[in-house]
Structure 1
Amino acid sequence: MTDSNSRAYNSVWQFRADAWCRLEEAAERLSRAATQGRPTEALADSVRALVRGLQPYEHYWAFPGTQYFAQMQRQFTSGNYDKFSRTVAKINRALVTESYRSGESHITGTNDHEQSIDVHYDETTSDRTERPYFEVLVVETMTEQQERALRKEVRSWRRPDDEFVYELVVVGSGDEAVIATRLNVNIQACVVRRRFAHKSAKDLTSLGDFVDSRVSDELADHSPEERAQILAAQISNIRPELDLYLMTEIEVEDVAGRVGHDFRRVFHAREGVLELHLSILHGVAERYRTPFFDALKKYSHRPTGVFHALPISQGKSIVNSHWIKDMVGFYGLDVFMAETSATCGGLDSLLEPTGPLRDAQDLAAKAYGSRHTFFVTNGTSTANKIVGMALIAPGDIVLVDRNCHQSHHYGTMLAGAHVQYLEAYPLTKYSMYGAVPLREIKGKLLALKSAGKLDRVRMIMLTNCTFDGVVYDVERVMEECLAIKPDLVFLWDEAWFAFARFHPVYRTRTGMAAAKALRERIKDPAYRERYNSYLAEQAKKPDASDEDLLDQRLMPDPAQARVRVYSTQSTHKTLTSLRQGSMIHVYDQDFEQKVAEAFHEAYMAHMSTSPNYQIVASLDLGRRQVALEGVELVQKQIENAMQLRDAIDNHPLLSKYMHCLSTAELIPEDFRPSGIAQPLRSGLHNMEAAWRHDEFVLDPSRITLYIGPTGYDGDTFKREQLMDRYGVQINKTSRNTVLFMTNIGTTRSSVAYLVEVLVKIARELDDNITDMSQTERAIHDRRVLRQTEESRYMPDFSGFHPSFRDGDVSDEGDVRKAFYLAYNDSFCEYLTPDEVEAKLDAGESVVSATFVTPYPPGFPVLVPGQLFSKQILNFVRFLDTPEIHGFQPHLGYRCYTGKAIEMATPVTTPLAVTIGSNGDVEKPTTKRRPKPAGASAE
């Protein structure tokens, strides 16, 4: 997409905003030239190009709308450049200040040719106290007069005490309805009327990726009610939060019975629009409602006497203090007025919600597409442990991404699970890991099946998306795993992916959306037919090996498969919530029958009986925000990320020292069957194609910046350059990369500031290199070489010591046993890295007694019971981070003594461990431990 200045845009929203600003500037220059008698042809051509570029899009917004836009065009065509300039200025300022959202824009004049736009706006303040504004899409073929009459009728029903104000967007065809749904984030409801065309008579080619010919094809050759139902499904796929209404003229009762489940209400068209108007307001009010926040506000205004806990309640211990009154000045009084430990008086208990908190969680479940949602006030680390404790019993086998957050490792240890670690693909050039290939997951499941342990496999834990933005094909992973283990439970750690629900492309790869889609597909009778054909094909290959199955697309048995999915999300990380506000989303067919009681116990075990109600209220408010404007906010987040990518990679100086890693650089070709190397920059259709077909895709809002040519390691660049000098906060680094993440709070100004900072760093570096002596340049070049060469130290999971394994036919280990063995200090010793290496060189095994977790990357490279390898030692040795949990620089690694290993070793176990010549662990062999005296021969 380009404007008249040939600038490339990543989104129509940025194009539209900038085009109106440029049109205002161009119109002013044109008006001034005409007034001064100077030539206007070139200026008029520039204005004409801008108007032509905007015209195809303006049909899909209520403001300025087709009528005002046409009027503006007439002013330009007639040569009334002064009036045209003033009209454009009013429209643009209303768009920039968003004053049009007051609903007070109106037309003055006596006829169409004399009308002008009058929009109230205030350039001095951005504080908005007016009623929230939204737009309603109406799908019906209308004349201009009918459309004007409908708008007038709707406005006539407005009342001063209405909670909201809205305007209409009218389109005449199904394909345009889908375009409007994609383009206009202000739309909160859609009214489908009986008479609409399946395909627009307009030329829509200029709308590019937003046009989908499949929509009109699908709508053709159907009755009006059938077309309405198909269109409703199409719109729901794009914006599931929208309220859909149907207006028909015949057999309204019969129509409601047949298609009513696709619509919020079905109305008879001749009965007027008042009831529809009230229903639209009520539907938006349902999403606007914040039950717990409202209850907390009401409670905070009540006088209370506190005779149990929480002296800070209503600020009593502060306002009467002589020494900490500045606390009120900093935080404000309301936050303390809302502090309470009460669970009655209009409030609710987090552990046993029955009132406003239960309502708030139900609204969250609807917004996020889950069957149940639970609020968590101490982060997703706790959420992960709750799910683990609720579903895992001691001895169950759990498949875990080795690179997942440490809370999963601790959670499986606390639950007593036997852990089978999964290996992600390595990115050796950047010293980081990607995600776990489906082939690896299937291979581990099939190996456990061959070992006769599939009945013990309980759950798989995966991170979606990873810290670096790699996103799984969630639905396919679950589908193929269920073909091997039909009752497998999935825990998707979406700590950094809560926002994904609110974008039509992202949504398909979230745990909840994929669970619903998979459930609906499996129960479809057509799937049963496809499954029978699949079985017939499988029967032709009686000798197929597990290796053959790894390369096949597996299908679960619809008679056995149970869709059991949990997602944990850090609302506070990517959406609006106070720190540590998180949610657990559940889509589990067996939850009520098998899990509810255990989940309740786990929830009480990990949650406080005195939760922070401010966090709970912020979760309620954050849900309201995304239910009403999540699509808009997430779209802006992606836009800002793409602007940042383009600004860095297209800058001549920045591109000399750094660049944003592409999809092709972070996801190997084997996992991208679409073959699209840059789906983020090659149009919406390509992005959708990649997200439909590729095993892994890249989240556009994550920008991994490769800084190897600067000579800085990631941690130094983060601390000394970004944070200490310029106050730019980031989290994740690797040896030669830093990660920037845009979020719903990122602005274009903050993106511009980051680009400015990077340019300053690059300019300073460039100047320093120019001034270096020959010796200094050689030192710098060695640093650059160290940062740009591929890492030789990317360790795989070395394996558990046989003492902590269950036999020698599979690789899972008992982390809990190993963890608690270390509670006896006499079983542990500290070894320096050199001492560990010496033991490995001598062929001895060294076993970790604790978790060793470098930050970054933030995942354990050693867990209790794991064997050391030289590969792991070198990985830690060459990390650029000074923060390594579980490693004491003055002491070394905490390891088990030989006595401890002997004590832990069962009577019969695969005991011998072979250390290869390179110091890495080789596959252990089976050896029987001598029986103690007096042991039974059996």
Structure 2
Amino acid sequence: MNCKVVLVTTDMQFGRRWVSELAQVSESDESSPLGLAFAHCEPGAELADFLDEGCTQVVALDDGSLDSVMLRDCYEQLRRHRAEIDCVLLTTAKMPMEDRIYECVISRGESNYGVVYRTLRRILLERVATPFADALKEYVYAARDSWHTPGHSSGDSLSSSPWVVDFYRFMGEHIFNTDLSVSVKMLDSLMDPISVIRQAQNLTAKTFGARHSYFVTNGTSTSNKVVLQHLLREGDRVVVDRNCHKSVHHAMIMSGAVPVYLESSVNQKYGIYGPVPKASIFRAIEENPSARMLVLTSCTYDGLRYDLKPIIEFAHQHGIHVLIDEAWYAHGRFHPELRPTALECGADFVTQSTHKMLSAFSQASMIHVGKSVENFDAAGFREDINMHTSTSPQYGMIASLDVARKQMSIEGFEVMSRTLGFAEEIRTFVRDSTLFRCLGVEDLCSAEVADDAVRLDPTKVTIDVGCAGLSAPEAQHTLFNEFGIQVEKNTHNTLTFLVTIGTTESKLLRLKQALLKLSESAEGASAQGRGQSLPALSDIVALPRTAYFARGEQLPLDREEITPLLGRVSCDEIVPYPPGIPLLVPGQEITAEILAAIISYVFEREDLEMHGVRTAGGRVALRVMTEDEAQAARAEFEAM
């Protein structure tokens, strides 16, 4: 490990002395695990070169040689390029005016370089600390006897059994001895953190640029429900992309909120939902002055990102809170090509699936509260979290969040640079060596958002195999069964590959080999007539909560006879998974176009789960409101 501290100064004599003195102190420090090295540079291009080095972890700005403009420019350059690293001010002032924007302030005239060295080492050690993970390891290695839950007692119930010891060996010792109980007080409480979990969450807030951050052990699905529960009350209006994740729609049901659904842009050629046009968002906000909240997903499952700053500013001007579902974008903070993030654009709340792109266990997620939130009710928010949190959380999951934060704080830029390089290598290979096409933002977006400054997250690589005559579901099957490659998702003619910080050179080579052989087997002519249309949003005629809790009735989903379902009001969400975007939500009127899509998914896509579909008398069915229920619900909804 090597951590570099870079002094930015125009006083080269001072810079050389500063670096030399600190290097001597560092050589005598045999206890530090950081491997501190020191350098100095001038502002501008020299600083940019050091920021491109992943090992640069601290930048010190010398206000004894940099005027106020240069100081500000250097600080902004640093924050644009490497938001996660520490910035120190070397000052000649007794009380610098902007000291609060720096991680630390050190006197430029400090003659005891041991003090300077220890100060720099301290702020770095704070950043690389994993308070909860360290406490968990300490507890496990102390080998205390368990007289508490869980019943497997650190795995002893399995390791001593001839019938299940194979599972114990397969999973590994530490899976079980880190699975502990809330009885272990030294590990803090996720429901009321006061020590190591609280420390870990505070470090997380700093790393991700939030006012507060919270660990969630049952996914971003629950994170979304927590935020919406905190902000919404029965009858509150919320402006929401109808193609948000199903958890957002579940939250509408639970809260009794009134959704103002936004129709997303749709790319019918590739079967992909895109962002909501910016003009539609602005219009919906203006037409609903009582709306309390705006909910958008950025980036989408396919990597499409909104130009969030003007949208969030417009919402705030109208007194509306903004939640951005960044389930697929937890990595965005750690490379300048991927920024700005939702928090940097002023979002009030952001939810992230830390497990999707970073090094956390599945279900491990975070909620971030933005710095723009005024009068934040921390106690009330904690109660909202606790309503959805198990009193028996998985401690390994919490530790994985702690460790994932540390990794991105200290090497996020480096690992994301490598990841983006791999993604670009895939795109180049597909373009130069196969019959397929990698789709860019202009391919994935429909014309209605062409001028909305939508961007593409490069880590989502979507490949059009239909242009070479292949069916994407068949290509996915071939990749899995013949090459051992599992893709993230597919449409009828595209495959999406997720490039993460866990992607390796060997995996990349195997993918290239598989794509090349797949291309050689292709017909070379574009596949025709295999499309799967995405239906337009139909009218919402009942409050989602009312529709969901209606007794309803189940009507068969018949491929030949759809008339009985036409015009009826859905009680359930009908959701193909992945990606978890509903075709119907409770309270929505059923149209022929929507039924055609549902029938297509149910009877032709065995590779997907279909959530919300029922079975009645051995036949596939949908639950709809009775005619009387629908009539009463329509009247209620129109009166709101």
Q: Same fold (TM over 0.5)?
A: yes
SS in structure 2 at match of 1:334: helix
Query: What amino acid is the match of 2:74?
Result: L
The answer as to whether partners of 1:471 and 1:698 remain within 8 angstroms in 2 is yes
Q: For residues 667 and 829 of structure 1, what CA distance do their matches in structure 2 show?
A: 36
Q: How does 1:351-750 map to 2 (within 5 A)?
A: 351-448=191-288, 454-455=289-290, 457-483=291-317, 485-486=318-319, 488-508=320-340, 510-515=341-346, 565-587=348-370, 589=372, 592-593=375-376, 595-651=377-433, 654=434, 656=435, 658-668=436-446, 671-673=449-451, 695-718=453-476, 720-750=477-507
Is 2:59 aligned against 1:257? Answer: no
Aligned to 1:531: none
Aligned to 2:570: 848
Q: For residues 636 and 32 of structure 2, what CA distance do their matches in structure 1 show?
A: 76
Q: Which shifted more, 153-162 or 626-635?
A: 153-162
SS in structure 2 at match of 1:728: coil
Query: What amino acid is the match of 2:437?
Result: H
Q: How does 1:822-901 map to 2 (within 5 A)?
A: 824=551, 827-836=553-562, 838-839=563-564, 845-879=567-601, 881-882=605-606, 883=608, 884-887=610-613, 891-896=619-624, 898-901=626-629
Equivalent residue pairs, number: 631
Runs of 5+ unmatched residues, structure 2 = none
Q: For residues 286 and 390 of structure 2, what CA distance do their matches in structure 1 show?
A: 40
Q: How does 1:908-923 map to 2 (within 5 A)?
A: none
Q: 1:786 to 1:322 in 2, by over 3 A?
A: same
Shift of 1:389: 1.4
Q: For residues 293 and 581 of structure 2, what CA distance do their matches in structure 1 show?
A: 20
Q: For residues 234 and 245 of structure 1, what CA distance do their matches in structure 2 show?
A: 14
Percent of aligned pairs sharing the same letter: 30
Q: What is the CA deviation profile of residues 19-77 of structure 1, one whole-angstrom value per residue up to 9, with x for unaligned ones?
A: xxxxxxxxxxxxxxxxxxxxxxxxxxxxxxxxxxxxxxxxxxxxxxxxxxxxxxxxxxx
Shift of 1:700: 1.4
The answer as to whether partners of 2:25 and 2:114 remain within 8 angstroms in 1 is no
Q: Greater share of helix residues, 1 or 2?
A: 1
Query: What amino acid is the match of 2:453?
Result: E
The answer as to whether partners of 1:191 and 1:246 remain within 8 angstroms in 2 is yes
Which structure has the bigger radius of gyration? 1
Shift of 1:299: 1.3
Q: For residues 902 and 888 of structure 1, what CA distance do their matches in structure 2 show?
A: 19
Q: For residues 325 and 740 of structure 1, what CA distance do their matches in structure 2 show?
A: 36
Query: What amino acid is the match of 1:513?
Result: E
SS in structure 2 at match of 1:794: coil
Q: For residues 634 and 527 of structure 2, what CA distance do their matches in structure 1 show?
A: 51
Query: What amino acid is the match of 2:568?
Result: V
Query: What amino acid is the match of 2:52?
Result: L
Q: What is the CA deviation profile of residues 684-723 of structure 1, one whole-angstrom value per residue up to 9, with x for unaligned ones?
A: xxxxxxxxxx5311111111101113433322221x2111
Q: What is the CA deviation profile of residues 867-925 of structure 1, one whole-angstrom value per residue up to 9, with x for unaligned ones?
A: 121211223344452232233585233243654445634668869xxxxxxxxxxxxxx
Shift of 1:815: 0.5
Aligned to 1:786: 529
Shift of 1:297: 1.1
Q: For residues 143 and 847 of structure 1, what CA distance do their matches in structure 2 show?
A: 74
Q: 1:479 to 1:145 in 2, by over 3 A?
A: closer
Shift of 1:573: 0.5
The answer as to whether partners of 1:233 and 1:262 remain within 8 angstroms in 2 is no
Q: For residues 110 and 467 of structure 2, what CA distance do their matches in structure 1 show?
A: 70
Shift of 1:371: 0.7
Q: What is the CA deviation profile of residues 408-459 of structure 1, one whole-angstrom value per residue up to 9, with x for unaligned ones?
A: 11121111111121111111211212111111112222223xxxxx32x221
Query: What amino acid is the match of 1:881?
Result: R
The answer as to whether partners of 1:819 and 1:849 remain within 8 angstroms in 2 is yes
Q: For residues 144 and 759 of structure 1, what CA distance do their matches in structure 2 show?
A: 57
Query: What amino acid is the match of 2:473?
Result: D
Runs of 5+ unmatched residues, structure 1 = 1-131, 197-222, 449-453, 516-563, 674-693, 770-780, 805-813, 912-938
Q: 1:389 to 1:898 in 2, by over 3 A?
A: closer
Q: 1:647 to 1:831 in 2, by over 3 A?
A: closer
Query: What amino acid is the match of 2:620?
Result: G
Shift of 1:372: 0.8
The answer as to whether partners of 2:348 and 2:373 remain within 8 angstroms in 1 is no
Is 2:66 aligned against 1:235? Answer: no
The answer as to whether partners of 1:290 and 1:620 remain within 8 angstroms in 2 is yes
Aligned to 1:164: 34
SS in structure 2 at match of 1:786: coil
Q: 1:819 to 1:265 in 2, by over 3 A?
A: same
Is 2:44 aligned against 1:175? Answer: yes
Aligned to 2:157: 317
Q: For residues 892 and 311 of structure 1, what CA distance do their matches in structure 2 show?
A: 41
Higher relative contact order (CA 8 A, sep 6+): 2
The answer as to whether partners of 1:135 and 1:169 remain within 8 angstroms in 2 is yes
Q: 1:784 to 1:859 in 2, by over 3 A?
A: same
Query: What amino acid is the match of 1:619?
Result: L
Among 8, 17, 23, the alignment partner of 1:154 is: 23
The answer as to whether partners of 1:472 and 1:695 remain within 8 angstroms in 2 is yes
SS in structure 2 at match of 1:893: strand
Q: 1:148 to 1:421 in 2, by over 3 A?
A: same
Q: What is the CA deviation profile of residues 264-313 of structure 1, one whole-angstrom value per residue up to 9, with x for unaligned ones?
A: 12223461532222122111100111111111111113343433421223
Q: 1:190 to 1:832 in 2, by over 3 A?
A: same
Q: For residues 839 and 320 of structure 1, what CA distance do their matches in structure 2 show?
A: 59
Q: For residues 422 and 737 of structure 1, what CA distance do their matches in structure 2 show?
A: 26
Shift of 1:148: 8.8
Among 788, 798, 822, the alignment partner of 2:538 is: 798
Q: For residues 413 and 478 of structure 1, what CA distance do their matches in structure 2 show?
A: 25
The answer as to whether partners of 2:22 and 2:38 remain within 8 angstroms in 1 is no
Q: What is the CA deviation profile of residues 72-98 of structure 1, one whole-angstrom value per residue up to 9, with x for unaligned ones?
A: xxxxxxxxxxxxxxxxxxxxxxxxxxx
Shift of 1:632: 0.9
The answer as to whether partners of 1:181 and 1:239 remain within 8 angstroms in 2 is no
Which stretches of structure 1, 4 residues or more, deviate above 6 A after TM superposition?
A: 142-146, 906-911
Is 2:509 aligned against 1:752? Answer: yes
Q: 1:175 to 1:346 in 2, by over 3 A?
A: same
Aligned to 1:122: none
Aligned to 1:109: none
Q: What is the CA deviation profile of residues 158-194 of structure 1, one whole-angstrom value per residue up to 9, with x for unaligned ones?
A: 31112321223332x2113431244211100112335
Query: What amino acid is the match of 2:343?
Result: M
